[in-house]
A and B are shown apart, each in its own frame.
Chain A
Amino acid sequence: MKKFIIGVSILTAVLFLGSAAGSESDSFEGNVYDPGKLKPRDSALKVRVGGRAPDFSLPSVRGGRIALSDFLGKKNVVLSFVPAAWTPVCSDQWPGYNVIQDVFEAHDAVLLGITVDNIPSLFAWTSRMGKLWFPVLSDFWPHGAVSDRYGVLRSDGTSERALFVIDKKGIIRFIDVHDINKRPKLEDLVRQLDKL
Chain B
Amino acid sequence: MRKLAIVAFLVFVMVPAGFPQQAKAPPAPGADFPKVVLTAPDTRSERSYLGLSGRGKFDISQIKAPVVILEILSIYCPYCQNEAPNINELYRMIEADANLRGKIVIVGLGAGNSAYEAGAFKKKYSVPFPIIPDPEFAAYGQIGEVRTPHFIGIRKTSEGDPRVFYSKTGAIGDPAEFLAKIKKAAGIKELK
A11–B137 alpha-carbon span in the complex (Å) = 20
A residues less than 8 Å from B20 (CB atoms): 15-16, 18-19
Set B4, B120, B147: member contacting A25, Cβ < 8 A: B147
Binary flags per residue of B1-42, CB closer than 8 Å to A gives 1, else 0: 100100110011001100111110000000000000000000
Interface size of B as a range: 35 or more
**Contact yes or no, A186 B116, CB < 8 A:** yes
> B117 contacts which of A26, A95, A99 (Cβ < 8 Å)?
A99
- Whole-angstrom distance between the Cβ of A110 and the nearest chain B Cβ: 18
In the complex, whether B79 has a CB less than 8 A from a CB of chain A is: yes
Q: Is the CB of B147 within 8 A of A20?
A: no
Contact with A along B57-97 (1 / 0, CB 8 A): 00000000000000010111111111000000000000000
B5 to chain A, nearest CB (A): 9
Is there an interface contact between A100 and B120, defined as CB atoms closer than 8 Å? yes
User: What residue of chain A has the Cβ atom nearest to residue B73's Cβ?
Assistant: A23
Q: Would A25 and B148 count as touching, CB distance under 8 A?
A: yes
Scan B98-120; emit 1 where CB is below 8 A from any A CB, else 0.
Answer: 00000000000001101011001
Query: Nearest Cβ in chain A — how far from B61, in angstroms?
Result: 24
Are A95 and B147 within 8 A (Cβ)? no
Q: Is the CB of A20 within 8 A of B145?
A: yes
B-side contacts of A25, CB under 8 Å? 74, 76-80, 147-148
Contact B124 A15 (CB under 8 A): no
Give a binary string over A5-36; 1 marks a CB under 8 Å from any B CB, 0 the rest.
10010011001101110111111011000000
User: Which residues of chain B have C-beta atoms less than 8 A from A183's C-beta?
Assistant: 76, 112
Digitize B148-172: 1 where CB-to-A-CB distance is under 8 Å, 0 elsewhere.
1110000000000000000001110
B112 contacts which of A23, A95, A98, A129 (Cβ < 8 Å)?
Answer: A23
Report the Cα distance A20→B12, complex, angstroms: 18
Contact B81 A130 (CB under 8 A): yes
Decide yes or no: A16 and B15 within 8 Å by CB, A1-B1, A22-B112, A99-B117 being known contacts. Answer: yes
Contacting B at CB under 8 A, from A114-132, are 128-130
Task: Classify chain A: how many residues form its interface, as a range.
Answer: 35 or more
Residues of A with C-beta under 8 A to B72: 23
Known contacts: A26-B148, A99-B117. The answer to whether A20 contacts B141 by CB under 8 A is: yes
Take A23-B77, A99-B81, A99-B121 as given contacts and tell me if A15 and B137 are in contact as well, using a CB distance cutoff of 8 Å. Answer: no
Does B140 touch A at the CB level, under 8 Å?
yes
A23-B74, A23-B146, A95-B77 as given contacts; A11 in contact with B11, CB under 8 Å: yes
How far, in whole Å, are A56 and B137 apart by their CA atoms in the complex? 38
Q: Check if A16 sits within 8 Å of B4, measured CB to CB.
A: no
What are the residues of chain B within 8 A of A185 when measuring CB–CB? Answer: 114, 116-117
Residues in B whose Cβ lies below 8 Å from that of A50 = none
Docked-complex contact A26 and B145, CB < 8 angstroms: no
**Are A27 and B77 interface neighbours, CB within 8 A?**
yes
Task: Beyond the given A23-B74, A26-B77, A185-B114, please list 9 additional residue pairs across the A-B interface where CB-CB is below 8 A.
Answer: A4-B4, A19-B23, A22-B137, A23-B148, A25-B74, A25-B77, A99-B120, A101-B124, A129-B78
Please name 18 pairs of A and B residues whose Cβ atoms are closer than 8 Å in the assembled complex, sorted by A. A1-B1, A4-B8, A8-B8, A12-B15, A15-B20, A19-B20, A20-B137, A20-B140, A23-B137, A23-B145, A23-B148, A24-B148, A26-B77, A92-B76, A95-B81, A96-B75, A130-B81, A185-B117
Interface residues of B (CB under 8 A from A): 1, 4, 7-8, 11-12, 15-16, 19-23, 72, 74-82, 111-112, 114, 116-117, 120-121, 124, 137, 140-141, 145-150, 169-171
